[in-house]
Structure 1
Amino acid sequence: MQKLRRPVLALLMAGATLGVGAASGLMPAWAGTSTKPSTAQNSALSGELFHLILIGELELRAQNPGAAYQLLLDAARRSKEEALFRRATDIAVEARAGDQALSAVQAWRVAAPKSLDALRYEVQLLIALNRVGDTVEPLKTLLGLIPPADRAGGLLALPRTLGRGAKPEAIVGVVERVVAPYQKDADPAVAAAAWVALARARLAAERVDESLAALQSAQQVQPQSEAAVLLALELMSKAQPVAEPMVQRYLKAQGPAGGSTLNAVRLIYARGLAGQERHGEALGLLQTVTREAPDLTEAWLTLGALQFELRQYTESEQTLGEFLVRSERAGALASGHPDTVEADDADRPDGRPDPQSELRRQRSQAMMVLSQAAEKRGDLRAAEAWLDRIEEAPALLLQSRRATLMAQRGDVDGARRLLQDLPADTPEAARGKLMAEATLLREAKRWGQADAVLQGAEELFPNDVDVLYERAMLAEKRQRYEEMEVLLRKVIQLQPQHHHAYNALGYTLADRNVRLPEARALIQRALELAPGEPYLLDSLGWVAYRMGRHQEALEALQTAYASRPDPEIGAHLGEVLWVMGRKDEAARVWREVQQRDAANEVLQETLQRLKIRL
């Protein structure tokens, strides 16, 4: 019998790859080439080996995977053909025989010591068999064999590769041993990647201080490491302020010619700052990004949303209008690209939404904010028109906005029916409906009806802190202060980290000018839980003012107003300035507030009480 060539072997095995074929795909691209057979080469399979392969495949078809595995593994050992080792391994995995699959892979490695595929299979099998500690040797070997240009990516992928089902502490031990040889690599990118991999593994194990130390080492080795700054941004989002200087050092190291990566980092950083209520800093950074990278459409969306939050409604509408124009252009370009024509119906293997769907979601977000901005201007028709253009939004959110506009026209009862008619197939949906209805009634100043709705919600969802907190705020509106205090203290008992409850109770005491030392202690506790939040600083400034500590009050209120120029904070700041004799400054602040929100109740009450006309 003539000797078979590899193409014949490939035909014989075509379409038969099972199990690990998919599992090996879990390994990152850095781990090597595809598991598909390489370009055809001459092979030396004898008639006897061909017979073994054929019988093995027939045994598999006859539902005898054990016999098939033995025959094909025997053929692989004789021929040293990688495709046969791979086939025997796949059969064992499909039969859920993990130990046999691992034996096949280990035999494969003996036959082909430099096979990247064999190493990848072994790592995946050891992880699947919950033997993460045994992956150290194959991972070290794999990293040593892959091209140097891919090594940094390989190191960065380690925590994710190992993290499927393994205990975080076990992963830390493996990563520490695998990356150790590369932490002083001559290539800064490789050395930094080694430290970042270790930092990420430690973070997953909740060893935050050690994670930060590794991250600092990464940045020392390579100040411009993108992986390091992205992890630093992630740590910032987890309330780790020590990570922020790393982000700032990265931005400084990039310089003005940092390009798209620099502006992407700026965008993420700005979002983090906004999340920390540091709106002034976030605003400046976003303006820089939109100026230097105008095609980064997400920056326009984030800037417009932040401007709305800061009650800069005209600027918000202009910014979001620019976002819609640019995103429509970007969507048209993407839809005309051959790789994205079928994007709407395609499943993305990385789990991320397809670009077209994400673009529709972002455009819907922008239109929702534009609807709210039009409402603030009193243009209810424009507000409804924006809602009509929205393609993707949760039904409750969309109907809540429609109900709000209906209530603005005076039909509060019709607005309630609109919300009540929404389906409530799950407890979450039922709760959401009740909370939306209560919010609608609160905004219509139907406080008694709103409280009745929330009492119904409390019966369905006892000890729900959001329901209790909303009830407390309604009690404050109705000047039922004892009831409010009971509710807020219950919130604190159920959720001791609820800084809003501490603040609300402290501020209300300060505003009534009673129990001021207790009010101050409550607000300081809130600030311990949420350092630097402007509304909490406003409360701290207000209680200091009530206690006669004017300079202390001024400093807290100026910090709060600089971060978030909110009308209520501005009204308080103006009053403190006025009482301190700095009347021109007070008038300037009040005029700023008046331009943003002339109907603000706190501003109006302040001006009337002090008998001031601007």
Structure 2
Amino acid sequence: MPVAAPHSLRLLLAAAGLALACGQPARGQAAADPAESVVRTHVPSAMDAELFYQVLIGEMELRQGQAGVAYEVMLDAAQKTRDEALFRRAVEIALQARAGDQALAATQAWRMAVPASAEAHRLTAQVLVGLNRSAEALDPLRGFLAATPAAERPAAIGLLPRLFGRAGDRKTLASVVEQVLQPYAAQDATRVPVLLTNARMRWLAQEPQRALELAQEAARLEPAAEGPVLLALEMLPGEPRAEALVRSYLDRKADAAAVRLAYVRALFTSQRYAEAVSQLEQATQADPKAAPMWLTLGALRLELKQPREAERALLRYVELASASAGAPAEGSTQAEPASEEGSGPAPATAEALRQASAEGLTQAYLLLAQAAEAQRNYRQAEQWLAKIDNAESALSVQLRRAMLLAKQGKVQEARELLRRTPERTPQDARAKLMAESQLMRELKLWAEAHAVLSEANRRYPDDADLLYEQAMMSEKLGRLEEMERLLRRVIQIKPDHFHAYNALGYTLADRNERLEEARTLVLKALELAPNEPFIIDSLGWVEYRLGRREEALKHLQRAFEARPDAEIAAHLGEVLWMLGRREEARRVWREGRERDATNEVLRETLSRLKVDL
């Protein structure tokens, strides 16, 4: 950032004197620039007129793009008055101009002028860290905590990791913070915050073992505290050992709804759906009126191909959401802002509640239609769809309606229904093609699905997701060279598309071809998505094809525990069968068949091995 020369500053001050001679605006006259109102808000009442106009000119120069001039004018005013608002403004100007050295100079001047200012010390440390001078942040951080009132110090200590989340040299910074916090490590009020802050800093510094040890020590000292558990949740799935801390806490506190829901989100992200369902069931038992938990439970049940259980959870959600629409949830202790008449929630709040309820109900009706469809109750599915009056969900509704028609043998009518659906946005045309291909795929009309996707890829070239879908249809049609070409194009366009690596690796392994290359591809997919059950299944299948049955068993058991899918059951059962564990294999296959009796991989496996369940 350019800095104004002293001569320029003198000219500006002279201009300020001219403004003084002209006098102030008459009463009721609007200020010429909004900056004046900013200045009036932040300057001390004791500021004389000359200094007032100096600050005003600084704001005007900033608006005209003269950041260097504005910075010098504002810092000069701050040093004359020792006013913290003006020091803060000088720092802001420097930071907006990406002038780190000037920002540091302003914070240091602020510290000298107002030694008791916690904010001055904190900002100095932040600027130093931003300039990759973390080692120099030691004294400002000590000053920050020393200037913070004792009652507020635990919160200030807990704030430190958030202040430095984007630091470059995090290992150095973690050591600096540890030194700063040492005097507070033995004090009752700050002992646990110190442990948690050091744990977070070590986690940011990519020292997971040390971070977990500190979090565990904090949990031991204060078993009821949520902080150690929330940190452990943040560490998942990168540090699986942290999960024991979470589970131990939830075993002790069955009513810890917020922590349990956070754990459910972590399990869902890792696609450990069965475990997420178990946690949600405990949460709904502890708080049966928590509507969102029922909706999530229903969606997960449906994902696990448990339509009856999904339906029960979703109906409970509809009951709760319908009852609370337009009114605060029963038992709520948080008062809503009153309207002018003093009766009920303010209109904006009530509208937000109604909108959230309507969106949730739309999702529930779609899921209920899907659950009814899975149970071949097509009439009930249509009744649920008829309840949806939401233009933004029109395509999703029409897709489900098309699926209902197709499953009743009206395939062409189903396709026409999708094609006639209005396109509200430019993305809707692409979404309609994807929906039609999905319809054909679910009906196992591979050639028709491939044709739709070919047209989609002509209209939207180099769309990684469309290319991937076409590759999957190419595989179904036995066009393996085309499939591989398309998948390699996907990887070229989007190198982090883990599905493409996995699909190519699994296909090679399933055909017992180029097994080492298949393993490399699957491992790359697993590196990009470490807890994806179907990729873990692929790795197990590759190991099985390579003759490493025990290694294969380990991976397949892990995949099946996370996602008891029929195809994973087919693979796991085959490995158990070949290891001589026949009854275990039959049990796994039966469980897979209960979830999806039509799964082709499972049926082919049982036929090939001549197994009668």
Normalising by structure 1, we get a TM-score of: 0.70
Task: Measure the CA separation in 2 of the matches of 1:70 and 1:580.
Answer: 79
Q: Map 1:112-131 to 2 at 5 A.
A: 113-115=115-117
User: Residue 65 of structure 2 corresponds to which residue in structure 1?
Assistant: none
* Matching residue within 227, 243, 248 for 2:244: 248
1:565 — aligned with what? 564
Q: For residues 6-45 of structure 1, what are the structure 2 equivalents within 5 Å? A: 18=38
Q: Deviations over 1:550-597 (max 9, x none)?
A: 777666555543432222233445556667776665555444444333
Verify the 8 A CA contact 2:141 2:180 in the aligned structure 1: no
2:118 and 2:143 in contact (8 A); partners too: no
Cα drift, residue 611 of structure 1: 6.5
The one-letter amino acid paired with 1:150 is E
Give the match's secondary structure for 2:234: helix
The 3-state SS of whatever aligns with 2:242 is: helix
1:309 corresponds, among 297, 303, 307, to 303
In 1, the alpha carbon distance for the partners of 2:167 and 2:278 equals 39
In structure 2, the CA distance between the partners of 1:394 and 1:516, relative to structure 1 (3 Å rule), is same
Partner of 1:29: none
Q: Compute the RMSD of aligned alpha carbons.
A: 5.1
TM-superposed CA distance for 1:131, in Å, is 9.8
User: Who is 1:441 aligned against?
Assistant: 440
1:382 paired with 2:393, answer no
C-alpha distance in structure 2 between counterparts of 1:405 and 1:181, whole Å: 65
Change (3 A) 1:584 1:61: closer
CA apart distance, 1:318 = 1.4
Aligned-partner Cα distance in 1 for 2:70–2:575: 86
Distance of 2:534 and 2:211 partners within structure 1: 35
Question: CA 1:328 to 1:126, structure 2 compared with 1: closer, same or farther past 3 Å?
Answer: farther
May I ask how many residue pairs the two structures share in their alignment?
551
CA contact (8 A) 1:155 1:197 kept: no
* Distance of 2:315 and 2:254 partners within structure 1: 27
Q: Which residue of 2 aligns with 1:601?
A: 600
| Residue 152 of structure 1 pairs with residue 167 of structure 2 | no
Q: Deviations over 1:202-256 (max 9, x none)?
A: 3xxxx42x3653453343344456444334323324xx1xx22223124425652
Once residues 271 and 189 of structure 1 are traced to their aligned partners in structure 2, the CA distance between those partners, rounded to angstroms, is 26
Provide the residue aligned with 2:371 in structure 1: 373
Code of the residue aligned with 2:154 in structure 1: it is A
Equivalent residue number for residue 192 of structure 2: 189
Give, in whole Å, the separation in 2 of the partners of 1:75 and 1:532: 57
State the Cα deviation string for residues 472-528 of structure 1 (Å, max 9, x = none): 211122122332233334445555655434443444445456666765665566556
Where 1:169 maps in the other structure, the secondary structure is coil
The within-5 A match list for 1:501-520 is 501-512=500-511
Tell me if the contact between 2:74 and 2:89 (Cα under 8 Å) persists in the aligned partners.
no
Contact 2:304-2:565 at 8 Å conserved across structures: yes
State how far apart, in whole Å, the 1-side matches of 2:77 and 2:514 are: 87
Instruction: Tell me if structure 2 keeps the 8 A contact 1:266–1:285.
Output: yes
Matched, 1:289 2:283: yes
Measure the CA separation in 2 of the matches of 1:104 and 1:530: 45
Amino acid at match of 2:600: E
Q: Does 1:216 align with 2:218?
A: no
Match of 1:257 among 253, 258, 263: 253
Q: Give the distance between the partners of 1:489 and 1:68, measured in 2 at CA.
A: 55
Matched, 1:273 2:267: yes
What is the rounded CA distance, in whole Å, between the counterparts of 2:580 and 2:58 in structure 1?
Answer: 93
Deviation of 1:311 (Å): 0.8
Aligned residues of 2:232 and 2:245 also touching (Cα < 8 A)? no
Distance 1:604 1:338, change over 3 A: same
Structure 2: distance between partners of 1:56 and 1:362: 57
1:333 aligns with 2:310: no
SS of residue paired to 1:333: coil
Counterpart code for 1:452: A
Shift of 1:319: 2.0
Q: 1:156 Cα shift?
A: 3.0
Q: Distance in 1 between matches of 2:110 and 2:485?
A: 70
CA gap of 1:92–1:283, structure 2 versus 1, over 3 A, is closer
Q: Structure 1 residues 593, 148: CA separation in 2 closer, same or farther (over 3 Å shift)?
A: same
Q: Distance in 1 between matches of 2:506 and 2:79?
A: 78
Task: Tell me the equivalent position of 1:8.
Answer: none
Report matched runs for 1:159-558 at 5 Å. 159-161=161-163, 168-169=167-168, 176-178=175-177, 180-183=179-182, 185-186=185-186, 187-199=190-202, 202=204, 207-208=205-206, 210=207, 213-223=210-220, 224=223, 226-237=226-237, 240=238, 243-252=239-248, 256-257=252-253, 259-260=255-256, 263-328=257-322, 332-334=327-329, 337-339=335-337, 345=348, 360-390=358-388, 396-420=395-419, 421-423=421-423, 425-426=425-426, 430-492=429-491, 498-512=497-511, 526=525, 530=529, 533-539=532-538, 557-558=556-557
Give, as a single letter, the amino acid of the residue that structure 2 aligns with 1:158: L
Paired amino acid for 2:38 = L
Q: What is the TM-score normalised by the length of structure 2?
A: 0.70
CA spacing shift, 1:17–1:103, aligned 2, 3 Å = farther
* Structure 1, unpaired ranges of 5+: 1-14, 22-34, 38-44, 348-352
Asked if the contact 2:185/2:191 (under 8 Å) is kept, the reply is: yes
CA distance in structure 2 between the aligned counterparts of 1:400 and 1:137, rounded to whole angstroms: 63
Q: Is contact 1:561–1:570 with CA below 8 Å preserved after alignment?
A: yes
How many angstroms apart in 1 are the aligned matches of 2:536 and 2:59?
73
Q: Deviations over 1:281-309 (max 9, x none)?
A: 33333333333344554443333222211
Task: Give the Å deviation of 1:385.
Answer: 3.6
